[in-house]
A and B are shown apart, each in its own frame.
Chain A
Amino acid sequence: MITGTPKPIEEIMEMLEPYDNIVLAGCHGCVTVCRVGGEKEVQVLASTLRLAREAAGRTINIREVSLERQCDPEYVEQMRPYVTDYQAVLSIACGAGIQFLAEKFTTTPLLPGINTGFLGVTERQGEWSERCQGCGDCVLHLTGGICPVTRCAKSLFHGPCGGSVQGICEVDKETKCGWQLIIDRLVALNQMENYGKLKPYKGWNSSRDGGPRRIIREDMI
């Protein structure tokens, strides 16, 4: 799931300074599940903004909407009939959704209401952690199901650096060394031989280093 955190209300208020009439758009996808951009957050944020604006002596008109997903054109199109009636759209979907709206509604400014986080998992209610960076070349079968790219602070590919002390990463005391986890797991699985199967180098061109990526599935087109 794509995770995110709400932007501070002061920051949003500043963004909205030029506007009195906006759409606030939520998304029923990931951001609903991680509790930053669902139906409820739309209502809560809208109320907060109205109150804050009223307290500042100016009112604001907010149209509340929650799309099924902001990353699919069919759903995005549902906003088209009215979007031009408003001065701006504040989206609390992930960065992909916000950009997609901006792309589709070229004359309306798009404002982000959340800070998009990472691809992660729910540790427990209210706590998420990162698991995948989308490098485009998965090796989890060789690393005991633990991703060196994500779990190692330096995305090292062939074992820990010298900053690994008693299983703790030198970057942050709260972070476990990803490579220690991998080796421990491989030992437990009796799969240490996999360590040697890792490619001598990692091709980062399938990752962000190759520029913005696209996926085209010929079988689906």
Chain B
Amino acid sequence: MTGNLSTFSGSMQSPTGAVMVIGGGISGMQSALDLANAGIKVYLVESSPAIGGKMAQLDKTFPTNDCSMCIVSPKLVEVGRHKNIELFTHSEVKELTGNAGSFTATIVRHARYVDVGACTGCGLCEFVCPVTQLSYFPEVPAEGEKKSRAKAKVKRVIKGPGLPQPTSAHKWTFTVDDEACAMCGMCHRACLHGAISWEKKQKAVIDQAKCTGCGACLVACPEKFLAIKVADAPDLEKSIGAAVYARSVSLKKEFAGPEAQDCIRCGLCAIACEKVMNIGALKMVEEGIEAGVDICQVCGACVSLCPVNYLSIDQVTSRTPRPLLNRFNEGLNGRKPVNIHYPQAVPRVPVIDEKSCVQLNSGACGTCATICGVGAIHYDHREVETTVDIGSVIFSPGIEVFDARVRGEFGYGLYKNVLTSIEFERLLSASGPTSGTVARPGDGKHPQKIAWIQCVGSRDHSCDRDYCSSVCCMYATKEAFIAREHDSAIEPTIFYIDMRSFGKNFDQYVNRAKEHKVRYVRAMVSRVFEDPLTGDLELRYVDESGKRQREVFDMVVLSVGIQVSQSTKKLARKLDIALDRYGFAVTDCYQPLATSRPGIFVSGAAGGPKDIPETVCEASAAAEAASASLAEARGSLITIDALPPERTPGPDDELRIGVFICHCGTNIASVVDVDAVTAYARTLPGVVYAEHPLYTCSQDSQERMREIIGEHRLNRVVTSACSPTTHEPLFQSTLQQAGLNKYFFDMANIRDQCSWVHPNDPDLATEKAKRLTRMAVANATAGVPLDELEFAVDARLLIVGGGVAGMTAAVEAARQGFGVYLVEREAQLGGQLLNLQRSVDGRKFSDFLQTLTEKIAADERIRVFTSSEVVEQSGFVGSFQTDIVMPSGATRTLKHGAILVATGAEEYRPEIHGLGTLGHVMTQTDFGAVLENGSLDTRHHPSVVMLQCAGSRDEEHLAYCSRVCCNHAVKNGLRFKEMFPKARVDVLYRDMRCYGLGELDYRAARQAGINFIRFDPETNPVTINAGEAGIDITVTDPSIRLPVRLQPDLLVLSTGMKSRDTEELASMLRVPRNKAGFFIEAHAKLRPVDLPSEGLFMAGTAHGPKSSTETIAQAQAAVARVATLLSKKSLKMSGIVSRVDPTNCAVCLTCVRACPYGVPFINDQHSAEINPALCQGCGICVAECPAKTITMGRYDDRNIRAKIESYSAS
């Protein structure tokens, strides 16, 4: 296949400096941000109404249990407000023409019927909309044909337990308009209370004393007369629909209660059916409500408006109701035709569903447009086509989950208490349909025993899902873990084939789950039976001892696999990129991001199953691959984010503080009385403005905050919301956009530290929220503006380590236009790959390394230092200095703006089973070399035993899983079988972790006759006697439950990978490593290639064991992250840095010793000094300084004192 890298490496003639990213999930967002932050214009196309993708639907994330929404929402907002990312939501790519470097794409924005620019995301339209069902709309009359209203022929009277109890609460006043009255007497006949006097040829008169305000007269008065007038109805000036809604809300408050009540004869159902929906199927009668069940359009308005739950949808119609289901919540609850995708959606703008909206289909209703305060609703919207010029395309449309109905034996779709895992995620989610309560959909009961069934639609040839979905073992573990956190009475059981916890820290997570009473059963469930009376589910399976088992559970969660949707496949055809038989984009193992069409790159699960960090990593990598050839056009199409000049506060300026108390949906508002806190905030000294947005962090709220700052001339802003760690930067940037110094801000955390921890004490929680707010206001009052240091960026990259990661990164960084220093300890570039033989598709690594070496040698931007080592490092992001010792012994100082650590890993060689001493015992790497150099005796067919986890997942050796060994064993096994078809191969394994498409080879290996025998170091250990005379192995094969004796010619050990000795480097760079010696990323999920210190990145096996393909992707990802820094001319540092006042410095060295980053030093003036560019602002030195001569920005004693004094003031 034609690779992108080689086809147009740097030779593009004036490319377009823009990229179209298809798919707005975590992958698309990360690509978009990396591109836009590196000077490339981005068009982000998302088919659903809002970005966020699957990650936004998840509750928590493994293996850290971070809240998915909490970590993704800052990204959503950043994408939403980025000047250089143009969002196309509810849109699709229609066409793509042109070639790499200069494509033209046609994007269709589907009609949203809501103006994205005008909408504030208040959600009122959604509240007001009465429709809950997909209606049966009458057919549109043919041209010229008169539209006539159907008359009911089949009628049903809906009765309650007792007779209607008419109410006059919030009564409207009905009068007869003398001029319009045609004296027909319909109103008189309709009135059930004798309030209308009428005689033939006389106008009707309503006796207000008798009128209960049911509106029967209004409904009965023929349309041609409209003689009944309504008064005293709130919102009637907007529309009758708005008025009906307003009264319904008032009555609902009054008649709130769970039990079924009698009809209160408010008449809202009949009025809505007649006047709003133009159907007229309902009529009030003595015993209750009479429904014309044949003409009902089944819109559900009468049911949703009824204040006392008197009506139900199946009573009013003879047709089958079709409830509208919330797609974001996986159909677990309902929605309206006008609907905001999810509470934190970006853009937080609803879409009107063309299929179910009454106005769009029959012309009736239209209530939402009348109620919208900003006039954002336009029923006349049509789809709009836009063409954009772009240089590259990133294809990251994501995946959907497997349709579990295909596996009928589990009863999904039939049994209500059988759920899919993504549905279970929504059940766990605090913003989900049950607000985080784990309840059975069947009866709302709290389940105790929950079973997870793994591999539903994965590793399953019968439904054409041969691949492993890679994520299910971990997400099932996480769901079981979290379910128990929600309700400790839950007893989770996970039924699985192999536990594929192959990622970094995954095994530890599974072990923790086991400690938390998550039960793992290695068995494939054959069938699920429902007890129709209780809804409980009986599972049948065969246990490890071969016995058939039955076990009853309250709920079953199917761990559904992931698959490519039909629409994605269609789109791929349109884009002319090749897909494999499952629909995953075909890529090359040396160019994991490049699709078959040059200029189009794939990222995320569209290229094969993967988890969030790998997706994020690939997203960055795709951004790099897509922009490398556009480097020349960098910055040509972007707008520089110009901030307004900062207002300089005068010393005598009066305090003008604005306070925003966040609801956080219901997170805060369900416990804390936000109205009361807002009112209280208004009374605080200096506060001139206070309000309580539903989501302060949403884009529209931020826009509003900016406007309010200007409008009310605020000079301090306080938000009482969630955690400053995640959200403070967002609010601060809003301050900057409004011309305020960002340090005139403070934040009180009334969610994590208040509403979440005091759910059962709303009154005290409200008091606490007031106090926290008061403290934040006091602190903001004490705030001072701080300057942010600006300095130039050196556009060169230092790469430490010249293996495949370092080499790939060097080539890519050079293509991006940056200078590169590549430092390698050994005399030759290549690293661990020099010891390996062939790639997954059988190509020789040596050829690949040679190509890379040639590219590096040919590129004048890359300077290579072999046999050299880093000995000293100083400086800070954008301006580092590193000393290296060269082979001559001379030291050379390199100046650069960023550092990439790519020090790699090596094969572990434990002295077990005679490895190193016996010729017929070797590692997988040795075996690969033996296969390659033909040293095997070909006269007979040698027999081979491979031992997996030899020194892995073992506390005495490597405690972790090395991820690659299972695939490595399968690959070597297959190759060996190819050479010696009659040879016997036995693989002794604990769990075959052939994740993703690796499963296909695992299947091929079994088909080729390779024998896989499972062992367990505790319950079924392998006994190996290896000596000069031969090898003797005994183990019990669980599939036949008999002991097996093996005497192979060769014993091949899958020994795993261990980190290289990087202790010195790590302490020099001041970056952390884990126990196993692998570098720790800045964030396990969302910053997989960033190191915690600014300007430092990593790639490859220095981060943890991974394959060469994954390493290449990670190297590209790291370059994308580097590009976001090095593409800038200058950088700004935080204003929150420590400063030493030398006057009082006792030179005691406390700060020097205490600083975790090693920043303070004693200068030649005999005082401690802290370089503000290096200072990370942690504040430890400030707290430790015995002379109290170090201060830090907004954390001065002044601030702390202000807060404490405010706290203790009554």
- Residues on A lying within 8 angstroms of B by beta carbon are 28-29, 32-35, 38-41, 43, 122, 124-125
Contact = CB atoms under 8 A, between A and B. Distances in A.
B1154 interface: yes
A125 B1150 contact: yes
Contact of A38 (B1146, B1147, B1153, B1154): B1146
Given A33-B1146, A38-B1146, A40-B1188, 8 more contacts: A28-B1146, A32-B1186, A32-B1187, A33-B1148, A33-B1186, A38-B1187, A39-B1186, A40-B1185
Nearest to B1183: A40
Interface of B: 1144, 1146-1150, 1153-1154, 1185-1189
Closest 9 CB pairs of A and B: A38-B1186, A33-B1148, A125-B1153, A32-B1146, A39-B1188, A40-B1186, A32-B1186, A40-B1188, A39-B1187
A38 B1187 CA distance: 6
Nearest to A38: B1186
Contacts of A124: 1153
A32 B1148 contact: yes
B214 to A, nearest CB: 68
A35 B1187 contact: no
Contacts of A38: 1146, 1148, 1186-1188
18 contacts: A28-B1187, A29-B1146, A33-B1146, A33-B1147, A34-B1148, A35-B1150, A35-B1186, A38-B1146, A38-B1148, A38-B1186, A39-B1144, A39-B1186, A39-B1188, A39-B1189, A40-B1186, A41-B1186, A125-B1150, A125-B1153
A54 B1188 CA distance: 26
Nearest to B1147: A33
**B contact face: mostly helix, strand, loop, or mixed:** loop
Contacts of B1153: 124-125
A29 B1150 CA distance: 14
B1144 A28 contact: yes
A33 B1185 CA distance: 9
Contacts of B1146: 28-29, 32-33, 38
Given A32-B1148, A39-B1144, A125 B1186 contact: no
A90 to B, nearest CB: 17
A154 to B, nearest CB: 33
Contacts of A35: 1148, 1150, 1186
Contacts of B1185: 40
A136 to B, nearest CB: 28
A73 B1153 CA distance: 32
A48 to B, nearest CB: 15
Nearest to B1185: A40
Contacts of B1147: 33
A59 to B, nearest CB: 15
Contacts of A41: 1186
Contact of B1188 (A33, A34, A43, A125): A43
A124 B1185 CA distance: 16
A161 to B, nearest CB: 37
Contacts of A43: 1188
Contacts of A34: 1148
A125 B1148 CA distance: 10
A34 B565 CA distance: 67
A40 B1189 CA distance: 9
A100 B381 CA distance: 89
A125 B724 CA distance: 31
A91 to B, nearest CB: 16
A32 B1188 CA distance: 10
Contacts of A32: 1146, 1148, 1186-1187
**B1149, B1153, B1187 pick with most chain A CB within 10 angstroms:** B1187
Nearest to B1148: A33
**B1144, B1147, B1150 pick with most chain A CB within 10 angstroms:** B1150
A160 B1188 CA distance: 46
**A28, A38, A43 pick with most chain B CB within 10 angstroms:** A38
Contacts of A29: 1146
B1154 A125 contact: yes
A29 B1144 CA distance: 11
A122 B1148 CA distance: 10
Nearest to B1186: A38
B866 to A, nearest CB: 38
B1185 to A, nearest CB: 7
A150 to B, nearest CB: 23
A202 to B, nearest CB: 34
B1196 to A, nearest CB: 14
A108 B371 CA distance: 80
Nearest to A35: B1186
B1201 to A, nearest CB: 11
A200 to B, nearest CB: 42
A37 to B, nearest CB: 8
A165 B1149 CA distance: 37
B421 to A, nearest CB: 49
B1140 to A, nearest CB: 14
Contacts of A33: 1146-1150, 1186
Contacts of B1187: 28, 32, 38-40
A34 B1154 CA distance: 14
Nearest to B1153: A125
Contacts of A122: 1149
